[in-house]
Amino acid sequence: MKKRLLATGLATLLAGCGGDNVGDVSLGIFTLKDIKISSLQDEVVTGVTCHIASIEANLSLSDPSDSSISCRQTGDITPEMIAKIDKSSSGEVVFKKSKSIFFKTMKVRRIYDPKNQTLLYLSYTTKETEGSFKHSLSTVPLWGTQAYGAVTEETK
């Protein structure tokens, strides 16, 4: 009974997922790993949508750390939105998802580059694997948006 309860609890932890699942690609019949694709809309800069592809292993206590991210402008980006974001060089976490019961987490961090008027979205895992931390980067230029050129002293 305890083993069943533990297994159910682990499955619940591993199944927890943020964002909307938009794709699921099997890596073959001889593996329990799939590529899951989810979409994530930035809650502050609502004109940005990111798609994250990551490998998930069914019946495993830890998913692989590999992932990729691609972000695009999918709506208006206003100066008011840019005024609300963290402008420090480390930015802020806009998404996180547990990838293991052993404290491995995948995070997406938004960083603002005021010189180039670009939003950077960095996807990374918090646990070192095979000698390096896995990460992926995508950028969304503000060119052509209401926010472009509206950089004030407050947003620098």
- Which pLDDT tens digit goes with each residue over 79-126? 999 999 999 999 999 998 765 556 668 889 999 999 999 999 999 887
Number of domains forming the structure of the chain:
1
Give the phi and the psi of residue 131 in degrees, each rounded to 5. Answer: 85, -5
Say if 95 falls within a structural domain.
Answer: yes
- Residue 28 structure tokens: 């073959």
Give every CB contact of residue 125 below 8 A, 6+ residues apart in sequence. Answer: 65, 67, 99, 104, 105, 106, 107, 133, 134, 135
Residue 89 pLDDT: 97
Domain membership flag for residue 153: no
Provide the domain limits for residue 98. Answer: 21-141
Q: What is the pTM of this model?
A: 0.76
pLDDT at 12: 33
In a domain, 146, yes or no: no
Q: Is residue 8 part of a domain?
A: no
DSSP string for 96-108: EEE-BTTS-EEEE
State the Cα–Cα distance between residues 46 and 10, nearest whole angstrom.
Answer: 33
* Structure-token pair, residue 51: 């798609």
